[in-house]
Every structure is written in C-alpha cells, then in structure tokens.
Amino acid sequence: MRELVERFREHLEAEKRASPHTVRAYLTNLEQLLTFARERRAREPSPGDLDIPLLRSYLASLFERNEAVTIARKLSSVRAFLRFLRRERVIEENLAMLVRPPKAKKALPSFLTPEQAAALVEAPLVKKRTGSSSLALRDAAILEVLYGCGLRVSECVGLDLGDLETGELRVRRGKGGKDRVVPLGRKARAALDAWLAVRAMLSPVGQAVFVNARGGRITTRSVRRFVDKHAIGGSVPDTHPHALRHSYATHLLGSGADLRSIQELLGHASIKTTARYAHVNLEYLVKEYANHPRAGGSLAPLKPKGRGR
C-alpha cells in the first residue's frame, strides 16, 4: 500500500500538475482512511480492503467532528486514489463512486462592503508608524492584490517577479494547474511599486514577489494572520483573506460586469461557481433596500389578490 500511495503522489504531481497544497491535502485525507482501515482490520490494509462497508463506516466516523463539506472533500480524495488504482489495474472498480457524500449546505460567499474592503486594505499604511515600514508596505501590496485582482491567497504568495507587467500580472498554475492573466489596477500597481522599492531591505533569497522578514517566500498562513491583525486595526468585522476575493467579484458584478468576464478573471472552471455572486449581490441589494425610507424596515413577500375579493 505504501508503494501505491507513493505512486499516487507522483501521479498527482507529474500528470495532474496539482499544487503542493493539493497534493498534501489528498495524501493527508488518504492517510486518515488508511489509519481507520488499519484499526478496523488490525493489520496493514490492502486495496481490496477498501470496500463499501469500510468506506461507509469511515464516513460515519467523521460526522461528529467534521462538516458535510469537509467529509465530501475527504471522500473526493479517496475517489481520486481508487480511480488511480483502477487505471493501474490494481482494482477492478472504484467502489468509492458508489458511496454518496453527505449533502452540504449551500452557503453564499462572505464578502465585505466597499467601505470595509477599503478600510482593511488601507489599514497597514495607517499603522505604518508603529511597526516596520517595509513590512507595512508589503502587507498593503498583498491586500491590494487580493482585493484589486481577485487572486486566491495561494496564487498571491506564489507570484514571482517575472509574473508582473505594467498593467497586468500572470497567475501561473492556479487552481487546476491553469494559467491566466489578470488586469492590474492603478492602486494595486502603485502599492506593488512602493513595496518593490523596499523589498531588497529584507534580503530576498529568491524571485518571490512577497517575502517574509527573513527573505523567504511568505506563506498563506502568514497572510491569514496579518489579515486578522489589520482587520482589527481597520475596525473591520472578523474576516479572512478569501473574503477579499469574494468582495472583488461581488463589487465587479454590482458595477455592471457580466458573469462570463468575472469567471475569466477569477479562473473558475464552471460558470456555476461564479453565479453564486449573483445571489450574493441580490442579497446585498435587498439588505440595502431595507434601509430605504419607503421600505418600511423589512420586505414582505407580495401576495397576488384573488379574483372576486
């Protein structure tokens, strides 16, 4: 089994061109299943041990401490592994495809208002006097890129100097291993210029655009940590880096951009994923209308009058 898992890792990296984060997540989820199988079988499991009863028992064991979306993601990793084993003719059928994941609640993407997004993005420069000027400029540039370009956090920290152009930036090997070009707005460009002017002060050891205090490439975890810090400093409600990407899409839609264009900018494989922002935008408009002096504070559903009444 260990040899098969190693071959699966090579398959993900070389053939699927999956990101290191994706490979790590798949293997972690797979190891959890194998640990469960070892405990149930009291021995090292074989591919034939991964049958429907064991898979269902494994999923059932996850319910108490995992959300439905997390369980579905773990099952997806198992399906990918068994699909690989079937392709390699180790097993005859991918039995994980016969096991249904639990239904997850369809939560709408969380986003910030334009005012909240602006307060968060500007927070590092407001606080610049109390800390390192170079790190403040770096944080400001990262937040401008996340909000002004709609990048995923992993895509942002993965940028190299060669990916930057005057009016655009190139995202290499985004989600699904796809490249795309994203327009670089005036404020994001200015923030990047200010950061790049002082980047050398941190003695960078590679071509990463964004580096930490030791000169190495900054991590997604570090970005999440300083987003929390700047949200507090900017008096912004509790948020997370991905909310800036959601805000980028929602505000574009509210400004009149069409879903197909937003899909290309975000790098979504399916228009259905992008369409979620239409629901978010509608929900936001309904809340805003509730503040209208003629709205009466709430919106009641319209009831058509019956005939003869």
Q: Give the pLDDT confidence of 111-130 residue by residue, as tens digits.
A: 777 888 888 888 887 765 54
Radius of gyration for the alpha carbons in the chain, expressed in angstroms and rounded: 24
Is position 289 annotated as part of the catalytic site?
Answer: no
Q: What class, spelled out in words, does domain 2-98 have in CATH?
A: mainly alpha
| CATH number for the domain formed by residue range(s) 114-289 | 1.10.443.10
Residue stretches of the chain with pLDDT short of 70: 104-109, 127-132, 173-177, 234, 237, 277-309
77 contacts 30 by C-beta, under 8 angstroms? yes
pLDDT, tens digit (0-9, with 9 covering 90-100), for 4-18: 999 999 999 999 888
Is position 11 annotated as part of the catalytic site?
Answer: no
Question: Which residue in the list 11, 138, 152, 189 is annotated as catalytic?
Answer: 152
Residue 67, classified by CB atoms within 10 Å of its CB into exposed (0-12), middle (13-18) or buried (19+), is: middle
108 contacts 279 by C-beta, under 8 angstroms? yes
Is position 21 annotated as part of the catalytic site?
Answer: no
Is position 242 annotated as part of the catalytic site?
Answer: yes
Question: Which residue in the list 175, 180, 240, 276 is annotated as catalytic?
Answer: 175
217 contacts 208 by C-beta, under 8 angstroms? yes
pLDDT at site 305 = 46
- Residue at token pair 């912004």: 236
Is position 246 annotated as part of the catalytic site?
Answer: no
pLDDT at site 308 = 43
pLDDT at site 228 = 83
Question: Which residue in the list 11, 138, 251, 268 is annotated as catalytic?
Answer: 268
Helix (H, G, I), strand (E, B) or coil at 169: strand
pLDDT at site 309 = 41
pLDDT, tens digit (0-9, with 9 covering 90-100), for 25-57: 999 999 999 999 999 888 999 999 999 999 999
CA-CA distance, 261 to 268, in Å (whole number)? 10
CA-CA distance, 9 to 25, in Å (whole number)? 11
pLDDT at site 183 = 86
CA-CA distance, 120 to 70, in Å (whole number)? 29
Residue 259, classified by CB atoms within 10 Å of its CB into exposed (0-12), middle (13-18) or buried (19+), is: middle
Is position 152 annotated as part of the catalytic site?
Answer: yes
Alpha helices in the chain (DSSP H): 2-10, 20-41, 52-62, 68-87, 114-126, 133-149, 153-157, 186-196, 220-233, 241-254, 259-266, 271-289
CA-CA distance, 168 to 192, in Å (whole number)? 12
pLDDT at site 141 = 93
The domain limits of the chain are 2-98, 114-289
Question: Which residue in the list 7, 170, 229, 242 is annotated as catalytic?
Answer: 242
Question: Which residue in the list 245, 246, 248, 251 is annotated as catalytic?
Answer: 245
The first and second tokens of residue 209, run together, are: 């655009």
